[in-house]
Structure 1
């Protein structure tokens, strides 16, 4: 069964349902990337629901080995345009980060019911991908940091699979809690490095290095 048809029948997925899709696809992409394979066409139409309930990423028909720097044999881009990573039209080498951007668009589409970059024409869609930030999701809830992290315009700023899985599994701790007033005589405040997750991570280091702060 095509997972996307099921989603469209309900209008959009809840954040919890989308989180299940995210984890399944992140694991599938991790396995492919570790084998040196980039899918190149991650989109809702390629998400299937197996009879046993597993969520599957299908159609590796245009997948490429990461050592292959060509887009296709004739230089064209084969994909669904609105899910295309911004670096790909410029001829960037095939890389795992492109799949992760496409996953971000897919998850945005899942929770919002609309694509963040689809426009009235191919040229307008390409322009949106190249220069526009995605609009803030309105229905993603605590999945918002994961989606926006996958949709970073530049590949080096995008979440890796490992970082994305950390955010998915600890998404309830991605927002800093409101500080609670404490009497002066109580236990002193912890040092800044042990504070909320965002404060403890400057933004450059891998999230996996900070898992101790959210355990």
Structure 2
């Protein structure tokens, strides 16, 4: 793997996966790990992402820790998704222009595991984004826990409409609230505070329904 991007084996990472859907770029966050140089993704079989991955032989992992990109790609209906001006293309595949780099992958194997589908990919190439060669920030608890808030907010949104999930919702809400506390202590920028409060409003709305 040439370049500054380093992806270690057997560690769960978060990225934003991208592919074409109905001739339009589609982005959504997804956890992944690499085992023996094979990328493994687990997706609920009922999710739109599962159908999208099934239809596309090549997809891209956009490597980023930008919470705003995770927010826009997670809550597409609420936000309108990723703006067109922030989307580029590499070899015909959509990518985020603000990502640190890109993992271009080709589908190798698909297997059903109860309610989830396991997708396995060979890594075709890893491409660094030269825009970030000199502008990578140190580790930030602010950004990390904003992304945690987004992850748990999406879980609350999806589970809140299901019957008999009170205990699970309480668990997700507890993790969401803890992440918010960390964000409130570590994020000093107005944009980050706005995002945290917006997520809190969205979660409150879903829990009231």
- Pairwise same-fold verdict (TM > 0.5): no
Which protein is richer in helix relative to its size? Answer: 1
Q: Flag the structure with larger Rg.
A: 1
Which protein is richer in strand relative to its size? Answer: 2
